[in-house]
Amino acid sequence: MRLTRAAAAALSALAVLLTPTNAHAAAPGDTVALPIRDALTALLVQGEDRTGYERTKFRHWIDADHNGCSTRSEVLLEEAVTAPEQGANCQLTGGTWYSPYDDTYFTQARALDIDHLVPLAEAWDSGASAWSAKEREAYANDLGDSRALIAVSAASNRSKSDQDPATWQPPAAGYRCTYATDWVSVKTRWNLAIDPAEQAALTDTLGGCPNIPIEVTRAR
């Protein structure tokens, strides 16, 4: 079941008040509950290495629960502002979606990409190169945290490509605090590192944002 952002935020606030957890000591399945700036500080900082990266090493858009809908379709169904009609083989017609990267609404699913908030190449650079194929598949199809995958305009997704916050920010300036917060949350969930330029950009952005609590269930 994919948690909505509102539900995740409510759980996050409650968790920080009741059961704060040290990110360094967390293991897969544990909950990390920290103010966002503390969560950023807890991330390992190191250089990145893209040696050996191929997108095909992250198998994605699978149908994990065998209900006829791929990961892409599951995200579109979850994030629809107005629900689409679901036909055979999870064919979606109608519906309305909001792309927060560029503050734009869409009425056709084909106009949207499903973005890995932390791109596959960035994940590889930050630690996923050492993962098993199954772990990379799980990352590429992560429906367990609503921050990991997001429906956005194809134009904004392709503008972002595999960049991190040091070189790309959402065109919609009002979304940048959420973007930085979600980026740190995903990296925390998957125990991924950040590089110095990425750390500086996130520190700068989050320094102008509320120091909100986050809750993350560690995937690894």
Please report the pLDDT score of residue 211 as a whole number: 98
Number of neighbours of residue 68 by Cβ within 10 angstroms: 12
Indicate the residue type of 168.
W
User: Which is higher by pLDDT, 2 or 127?
Assistant: 127
Q: What is the pLDDT of residues 145-166, one digit of tens each?
A: 999 999 999 999 999 999 999 9
3-state secondary structure 92-154: EECCEEEECCCCEEECCHHHEEEEECCCHHHHHHCCHHHCCHHHHHHHHCCCCCCCCEEEEEH
Q: What is the mean pLDDT of the chain?
A: 92
Examine the pLDDT at 101 and tell me if it is beyond 90: yes
* Domain encompassing residue 172: 5-217
Q: What is the pLDDT of residues 73-87, one digit of tens each?
A: 999 999 999 999 999
Examine the pLDDT at 8 and tell me if it is beyond 80: no
Task: Give the total number of structural domains in the chain.
Answer: 1
- The whole-model pTM stands at 0.89
